[in-house]
Amino acid sequence: MPADLAFDALADPVRRQILGVLAEREECTVGELAERITSIGRTGVSSHLRVLRAAGLVTERKAGRFRHYSIDPAGPARDVIATLQALFQGALADAPLRWRQRPYSRIY
């Protein structure tokens, strides 16, 4: 299932950081991403981009010798967002009720 691959890809903090940069900049080359993500080198960024592409979370556009990456909003990211929204929407809707039902406790 494509959403499963996407969730697996999102489990890594570096991949989430890459997606964060792509969300800010819309499109980046590997070099631009490597400048922003200093915890790993350019080769590591490329490896993480391969995983994100395989999961359908990013797309690649070749322009000469450069590859430009961007988030794929039509891919499995849509399923991931819908799943998370459904999970949290119900929990958040019931939160005020659960909060009122909690027994009063003091922190000493």
pLDDT tens, per residue, the chain with 108 residues: 667 888 899 999 999 999 999 999 989 999 999 999 999 999 999 999 999 999 999 999 999 999 999 999 888 888 888 888 888 887 777 666 655 566 655 555
SS percent in the chain: helix, strand, coil, step 5: 60, 15, 25
Q: For residue 73, give the DSSP letter.
A: T
Q: What's the pLDDT at 67? A: 95
CA dist., res. 29 & res. 23, Å (int): 13
Question: What pTM did the predictor assign?
Answer: 0.76
